Structure 1
Amino acid sequence: MSTTEILEKIRLIPENYQQEVVDFILEKKVKKTVISSKQRPLGLLKGKMKMSDSFDDPLEDFKNYM
Structure 2
Amino acid sequence: MTEELMSSEIQQLPESLKQEVLHFAQFLRQEKTRRLENKSNTKERVFGISKGRYKLAPDFDTPLADFKDYM
Class of the TM-score when normalised by the shorter of the 2 chains: 0.5 to 0.7
Summarize the alignment of residues 1-66 of structure 1 with structure 2, pairs less than 5 Å apart: 1-39=1-39, 40-42=42-44, 55=52
* Alignment deviations for residues 11-65 of structure 1 (CA, whole Å, 9 cap, x no partner): 100112101111111101211220121111426xx8xxx87xxx37x7xxx69x7
Secondary structure at the counterpart of residue 42 of structure 1: coil
- TM-score calculated relative to the size of structure 2: 0.54
Gaps of 5+ in 2: 60-71
Query: May I ask how many residue pairs the two structures share in their alignment?
Result: 54
RMSD, matched Cα: 3.2
Report the Cα distance in structure 1 between the residues aligned to 2:33 and 2:3, rounded to whole angstroms.
20
Q: Which runs of 5+ in 1 are unaligned?
A: none
Q: Secondary structure at the match of 1:13?
A: coil
Query: TM-score, normalised to structure 1's length?
Result: 0.57
Identity of aligned residues (%): 19
